[in-house]
Amino acid sequence: MRTTLLLLPLAVLAGCGPRPAQTTKTTNADLNFPVGSFSLTERSGKTVTEKDLAGKVWVASFVFTRCLGPCPAVTGTVKELAADLKDVPDVRFVTFTVDPSRDNPGELQKYAAKYGADPDRWLFLTGPEAEVHALMKDRFKLAVGRKEDAKEGDEYDHSTRLTVVDKKGVIRATFEGMRNELRPDGKEAFVDNLARLKETVRRLAAE
């Protein structure tokens, strides 16, 4: 997996092809910067803004529906988290597509249905590509970009990390969104990673 640094040492760039070993150390230490305002379209066709998530702790992910690489694993992780945190009422999951020109609400509806996503707790958002990519890079400090040598299902390089946002819309932490199969301790490290993510969400929900 190619790694790229933006403003923080956690902007891991991952294409949708095979993933070589990660060489850049990433962190999930507490962060403290706001997501800010946005206005995007949910799979239902409704407009969703940051105000709709006020008072909720939410976990952001970035994928695209045609992805043949890591995106299904990342979405599978979110599905697992949604099940494990179903007892926490003020938690939401927000998946942004990095390929909004193709991922219209209809495509997102089909993708969400495949993962059994609860529409009340798990949102899928699309909008103009420039806005979505700027949101990801400038606000979430994560990498995204079109690939020059793109193949079908591998058109974008993008971070596979999950970001935890608190009730005030402030980004507090990021975590790995998928297991690194090439790490000798990959399974154990990812289990620990998810445990820390869930503990962070529960702590913020209790604030």
- What are the residues facing 140 on neighbouring strands? none
Q: Is residue 198 part of a domain?
A: yes
Which amino acid would we find at residue 198? K
Q: Is residue 3 part of a domain?
A: no
- pLDDT of residue 76 exceeding 90, the answer is yes
What is the chain's mean pLDDT, rounded?
Answer: 87
- pLDDT number for residue 56: 98
Q: How many domains is the chain partitioned into structurally?
A: 1
Kindly state the tokens that stand for 136: 């990801």
- Measured CA to CA, the distance from residue 196 to residue 2 in angstroms comes to 25
Q: Is residue 22 part of a domain?
A: no
Q: Which residues contact 60 (CB under 8 A, 6 or more apart)?
A: 94, 95, 96, 140, 162, 163, 165
Quote the distance between the C-alpha of residue 30 and its chain's center.
17
- Measured CA to CA, the distance from residue 143 to residue 188 in angstroms comes to 26
Q: Is residue 194 part of a domain?
A: yes
- pLDDT number for residue 14: 52
- pLDDT number for residue 15: 52
Q: Is residue 55 part of a domain?
A: yes
Distances in Å between the Cα of 192 and the Cα atoms of 5, 144, 160, 172 are 24, 26, 17, 18
- Measured CA to CA, the distance from residue 69 to residue 28 in angstroms comes to 23
Asked if 123 contacts 94 with a C-beta cutoff of 8 angstroms, the reply is yes
- pLDDT of residue 9 exceeding 90, the answer is no
* Burial (0-12, 13-18, 19+ Cβ within 10 Å), 46: exposed
CATH number of the domain to which 77 belongs: 3.40.30.10
Which residue segment(s) compose the domain that 133 sits in? 33-205
The pTM is what?
0.86
Q: Which H helix or E strand runs over 108?
A: helix 105-114
Q: Is residue 10 part of a domain?
A: no
Average pLDDT over residues 21-31: 49
pLDDT digits 0-9 by tens, 174-199: 999 998 876 778 889 999 999 999 99
Kindly state the tokens that stand for 124: 């899928």
Q: Is residue 95 part of a domain?
A: yes
pLDDT digits 0-9 by tens, 111-168: 999 999 999 999 999 999 999 999 999 999 999 988 788 677 778 888 999 999 999 9
Rg (CA), the chain: 16
Q: Is residue 88 part of a domain?
A: yes
